[in-house]
Each structure stands twice: as structure tokens, then as C-alpha cells.
């Protein structure tokens, strides 16, 4: 890698949730939905794409807008929102983009000659008689496409949603949402060849107890096995299931990543999560012998300004994956250097004196008014915006994992807000060792210096504010 890379791995002003990574022509392309900073709802912006060379996951390039909401003839006014997409390279060598409009119950397809060019509308996924999927009484609700162009030329489309809503009534026809479904497409990439069938029931026989299917279908082939990634009913974890066929007989594999590190070491108590919880969605990336899981985090005290993250996975000899820990250095290939400036926005752990909360559900901003959160200055898509941790009150903690230390360091904090007290810094969340730096802020950025000695080796860094008022954590310098 030319440079270090952090989580979130895209610029601080970019909000790409639901990221699906794919390798085309020596580059990793990430396709996701597109949130707007401080938006009132999910996925307000048009689709964009980012890519990086497979040999350097620190070198992300903005590819621009690849598809606009109003390109679909059913959305000429742009009132419907583009939810999570997926892309595959078809047997004809062209690239096909699959998407669903919010809760409209329709799945669209666009096509392009290049991975990140200007996609053009192709059609809506439909039955052989021309009926659009989602317009037939009793159809399974089209949502969150995952698509696989298999090695034998067959095209498999996955979809599914958990929660019944009044919106799942289209044209007077109530749609079903029994779980995750699969169907095969004709070579034209838009006509249904085999009837949709449920292979991941959300409840009852065949479901995965305590990790039942919720949404976020994603599929990869690994040799003679198919790996299906999905978000469970907990909504803050990505799980996987494995089969030797693409259209059934999947067995549960485990959790790949959880936003709050739940299910690690047997912890299932949301009150003991290490980060704030909300929905997540992503996919697997294989580069040589290395595997990564892509996911997203919430910012700004709600679920409508989400950012792309990724973690490297460890694979067991039997081919199963261990759950990844959320970190600040996901794609870096190892711990970060314990020298230089680091923005506080790369914290992977964040909690208040009362613990964490969930960003989904009604009025999260009111319920979490006393909690710290990630936010930014400036408006949406300003590349000079400053993202930081706001509203650190007495007992709030921000954690960063991991750094390689070889001895003591001078630590400089860059803080704003209006607070007075001390910042305790330690390599462990119990704060038994580390340093204490007195701080007092008065509405603008100030710097505070202390001596830090956490020993040598790979260490985390935790920062806890103790005092009065609120502190905004912008950055820190290790030297």
C-alpha cells in the first residue's frame, strides 16, 4: 500500500452504505446506495461508484455518478429513492446494475459497457408474459437485489425483506415477504426463467435461529461453494450461509461482522455493544487468499448518513470464517503507525456513560441527545468538510484499534466544544493505565498535550472525557 487506510475507507464527506465490492479488470469497484449528509431519509442521492487497484486498497478513486433516479421511466420525477444495488458482468461482457426503488415493489435493471460508466435503463425484472415482478398477486416483495453470474452462464437473482409494511401493497395487490428468495433469469438479464422461491425463511422450519434472515442479500461463489451474506433480524450484523448449489440447501455459517461487536466472545447484550447500532449491509471481497467483509456504520445520530467500512476476515482450515472485530484499520493490512495525525472520525468504538443506543426506530435524535456521535461541518459532499466526534459528555468514550507502539509518545489532542475536565487515555477500556490530560474548551478548536506510555506492541487507544459540559473530539497527534 502506498498509504495507510482507515475505516471509513472513503473520504470523510462521502456517505456510501450497502457497499457491494466486485473485482473487474484489476480494480475493486464498490457499488452502494448513496446517502446524503443530514438527510431525513435513506438513499437520497443518485448512484455513484468508487474504485481502487487490487494491489492498493488505500488508493480510492471517485468514478462519478453512474445512474440517476430519474433514468427509470417509473421515476421520471425522481421521487422514489434508489435503495441498495448490486452489479454483475453478464455472459455478453456487459455490466448489469440491479436496484429496487424504496418500497415500491419493483426491481429495475440498467446496463453499461464498462464497470463504472454511464448505465442506461434496460427494463424491470418481469415474467415471461411481461408482467413486472411485484405486480402479480402473492408475489414475493422485490427488495435488496443480490446477483450472481455463475461460471456456467446461468444468472441468479436474490432478494428479500423481513418486516411487513403498508407499503407492501402495490396496485391493490398485497405482496408477500416470507424471507430471502432466489430466481433464475434468462440470458437477457431481465426476464424471469424460474419462479421465485423462498430459500431463507424468516421464521419457522429452515430459518436460522437467532440469526433469521432480514434483508441485504449478497452472493459469492468460492470454488464449488456458494456463500450467501445477509443481515439478520438483529439488523446490526452480517451473517453468512453456505451451500454447494446456488438455489437452496444453505446451512448457517455464523456472524461475519457486527457493528457493536455483539456475538463476539458470546456477548449478545446490546447494552454492552461497543458502538451505536443500526442497519447494515455489505458483501464479501476475495483478493488472492485474503477475504474482506464490507459493511457500513451510522453517523449524525440517525440511519440516513451511513458510511462504508470493511474488515479483513480470518478463515479457518475448514473454510469457515471467524467473526471480524470492528476496527479503525480494516483494509490497512495491519495496525496503524503510532506516529502522525489521526482524525477522530476513524474511531471504531463509541459509547456514553450510559452505554450505547440504536439509531433505527422513531426519533433517535431525541432519545440519544446526551450521547456522542459522528458528524461533520459543511454541507453534503464538500471535500473540505471536517468530520469529528461531537457531544462527548462526562463518561463518553471513543476507541481506536489498532496501533503498533514501540515506546512512549507525546500525545496532542485537538478538541472543540465547551467543556472543562480531563481526557483519560488508555490502551484498555478499564482505564487502569495511560495518561490524564487536563482540558478546557471554549467554543473553538484548542490543542492539549500530554505524555503517553502504553508499552510496546499492538495496542488500542481509548479516550474518555470526564468533566462538565461537552467536548468535540477532532483529532490527535502521536509523536
Task: Please state, in angstroms and rounded to a whole number, the distance separating the CA atoms of residues 284 and 253.
Answer: 14
Taking the CB of residue 129, how many other CB atoms lie within 10 A of it?
Answer: 8
pLDDT at 147: 98
CA dihedral (99, 101, 104, 108) positive or negative: negative
pLDDT at 452: 97
**Cis ω for the linkage preceding 127 (within 30 of 0):** no
Taking the CB of residue 445, how many other CB atoms lie within 10 A of it?
Answer: 14
Judge whether 116 and 49 are in contact, CB under 8 Å: yes
Cell output for 42: 435513506
Task: Please state, in angstroms and rounded to a whole number, the distance separating the CA atoms of residues 345 and 476.
Answer: 11
Task: Please state, in angstroms and rounded to a whole number, the distance separating the CA atoms of residues 458 and 456.
Answer: 7
Task: Please state, in angstroms and rounded to a whole number, the distance separating the CA atoms of residues 104 and 69.
Answer: 13
Quote the radius of gyration of the chain (alpha carbons, Å): 23
Cell output for 243: 451451500
Cell output for 380: 453534503
Reported in sequence order, the residue ranges of 25-60 that DSSP labels E, i.e. its strands, are: 27-31, 47-53
Cβ-in-10-Å burial (0-12, 13-18, 19+) of 93 comes to: exposed
Catalytic-role residue among 86, 144, 215, 261: 215
pLDDT at 360: 86
Task: Please state, in angstroms and rounded to a whole number, the distance separating the CA atoms of residues 33 and 85.
Answer: 6
Task: Please state, in angstroms and rounded to a whole number, the distance separating the CA atoms of residues 164 and 348.
Answer: 32
Those residues with Cβ within 8 angstroms of residue 423's Cβ, 6 or more apart along the chain or in another chain? 413, 415, 436, 437, 439, 448, 463, 464, 465, 466, 471
Size of the chain, expressed as the number of residues it contains: 479
Pairing of strands 86-89, 95-100: antiparallel
Task: State the greatest distance between any 2 C-alpha atoms of the chain, in Å, as a whole number.
Answer: 73
Domains in the chain with CATH codes: 20-334 (2.115.10.20), 340-478 (2.60.120.260)
pLDDT at 168: 52
Task: Please state, in angstroms and rounded to a whole number, the distance separating the CA atoms of residues 415 and 412.
Answer: 10
User: Which segments of 75-179 does DSSP mark as H helices, in order?
Assistant: none
Judge whether 195 and 183 are in contact, CB under 8 Å: yes
Catalytic residue status for 354: no
Three-state DSSP class for 152? coil
Cell output for 75: 421515476
pLDDT at 361: 75
Three-state DSSP class for 373? strand
Phi and psi based region of residue 187 (left: phi greater than 0; alpha: psi -120 to 50; beta: remaining) = alpha
Task: Please state, in angstroms and rounded to a whole number, the distance separating the CA atoms of residues 304 and 314.
Answer: 31
Pairing of strands 107-112, 120-124: antiparallel
pLDDT at 382: 76
Catalytic residue status for 215: yes
Q: Smallest Cα–Cα separation from 7: which of 308, 369, 432?
A: 308
Phi and psi based region of residue 161 (left: phi greater than 0; alpha: psi -120 to 50; beta: remaining) = beta
Task: Please state, in angstroms and rounded to a whole number, the distance separating the CA atoms of residues 257 and 50.
Answer: 22
**Cis ω for the linkage preceding 234 (within 30 of 0):** no
Task: Please state, in angstroms and rounded to a whole number, the distance separating the CA atoms of residues 257 and 325.
Answer: 7
pLDDT at 366: 79
* pLDDT tens over the chain, length 479 residues: 789 999 999 999 999 999 999 999 999 999 999 999 999 999 999 999 999 999 999 999 999 999 999 999 999 999 999 999 999 999 999 999 999 988 889 999 999 999 999 999 999 999 999 999 999 988 999 999 999 999 999 999 999 999 875 445 555 567 899 999 999 999 999 999 999 999 999 999 999 999 999 999 999 999 999 999 999 999 999 999 999 999 999 999 999 999 999 999 899 999 899 999 999 999 999 999 999 999 999 999 999 999 999 999 999 999 999 999 999 999 999 999 999 999 999 999 999 999 999 998 777 877 899 999 999 998 888 777 789 999 999 999 999 999 999 999 999 999 999 999 999 999 999 998 889 999 999 989 999 999 999 999 999 999 999 999 999 999 999 99
pLDDT at 171: 55
The answer to whether the pTM exceeds 0.85 is yes
Catalytic-role residue among 14, 18, 414, 472: 18
Cell output for 187: 440470458
Amino acid at each position: 500500500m502506498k498509504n495507510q487506510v482507515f475505516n471509513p475507507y472513503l473520504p470523510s464527506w462521502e456517505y456510501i452504505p450497502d457497499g457491494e465490492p466486485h473485482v473487474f479488470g484489476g480494480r475493486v469497484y464498490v457499488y452502494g446506495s448513496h446517502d446524503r449528509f443530514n438527510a431525513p431519509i435513506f438513499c437520497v442521492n443518485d448512484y455513484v461508484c468508487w474504485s481502487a487497484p487490487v494491489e492498493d486498497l488505500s488508493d480510492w478513486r471517485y468514478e462519478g455518478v453512474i445512474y440517476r433516479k430519474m433514468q427509470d421511466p417509473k421515476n421520471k420525477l425522481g421521487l422514489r429513492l434508489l435503495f441498495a444495488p448490486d452489479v454483475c458482468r453478464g455472459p455478453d461482457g456487459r455490466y448489469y446494475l440491479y436496484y429496487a426503488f424504496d418500497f415500491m415493489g419493483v426491481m429495475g435493471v440498467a446496463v453499461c459497457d464498462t464497470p463504472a460508466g454511464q448505465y442506461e435503463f434496460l427494463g424491470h425484472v418481469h415474467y415471461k408474459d411481461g408482467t413486472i415482478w411485484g405486480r402479480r398477486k402473492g408475489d414475493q416483495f422485490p427488495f435488496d437485489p443480490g446477483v450472481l453470474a455463475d461460471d456456467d452462464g446461468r444468472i441468479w437473482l436474490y432478494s428479500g425483506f423481513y418486516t411487513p409494511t403498508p407499503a407492501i401493497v402495490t396496485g391493490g395487490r398485497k405482496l408477500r415477504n416470507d424471507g430471502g428468495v432466489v430466481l433464475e433469469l434468462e440470458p437477457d438479464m431481465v426476464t424471469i426463467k424460474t419462479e421465485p422461491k423462498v430459500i431463507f425463511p424468516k421464521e419457522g422450519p429452515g430459518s436460522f435461529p437467532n440469526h433469521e434472515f432480514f434483508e441485504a442479500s449478497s452472493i459469492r461463489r468460492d470454488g464449488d461453494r456458494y456463500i450467501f451474506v445477509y443481515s439478520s433480524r438483529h439488523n446490526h450484523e452480517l451473517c453468512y450461509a453456505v451451500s454447494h448449489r446456488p438455489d437452496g440447501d444453505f446451512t448457517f455459517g455464523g456472524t461475519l461482522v457486527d457493528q457493536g461487536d455483539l456475538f463476539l466472545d458470546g456477548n449478545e447484550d446490546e447494552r454492552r455493544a461497543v458502538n451505536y447500532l443500526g442497519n447494515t449491509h455489505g458483501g464479501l471481497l476475495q483478493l488472492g487468499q485474503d477475504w474482506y467483509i464490507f459493511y457500513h456504520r451510522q453517523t449524525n445520530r440517525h440511519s440516513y448518513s451511513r458510511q462504508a467500512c470493511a474488515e479483513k476476515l480470518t478463515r479457518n482450515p475448514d473454510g469457515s470464517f471467524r467473526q471480524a472485530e470492528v476496527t479503525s484499520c480494516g483494509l490497512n493490512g495491519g495496525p496503524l503507525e503510532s506516529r502522525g495525525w489521526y482524525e477522530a472520525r476513524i474511531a471504531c468504538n463509541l459509547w456514553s456513560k450510559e452505554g450505547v443506543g440504536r439509531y433505527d426506530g422513531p426519533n433517535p435524535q431525541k432519545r440519544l441527545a446526551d450521547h456522542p456521535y459522528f458528524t461533520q461541518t459543511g454541507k453534503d459532499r464538500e471535500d473540505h468538510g471536517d468530520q469529528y466526534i461531537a457531544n462527548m459528555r462526562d463518561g463518553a468514550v471513543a476507541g481506536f484499534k489498532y496501533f503498533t507502539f514501540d515506546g512512549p509518545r507525546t500525545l496532542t489532542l485537538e478538541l472543540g466544544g465547551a467543556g472543562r475536565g480531563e481526557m483519560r487515555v488508555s490502551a484498555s477500556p478499564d482505564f487502569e493505565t495511560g495518561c490524564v490530560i487536563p482540558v478546557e474548551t471554549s467554543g473553538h478548536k484548542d490543542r492539549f498535550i500530554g505524555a503517553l506510555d502504553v508499552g510496546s506492541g499492538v495496542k488500542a487507544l481509548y479516550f474518555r472525557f470526564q468533566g462538565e459540559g461537552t467536548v468535540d473530539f477532532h483529532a490527535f497527534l502521536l509523536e
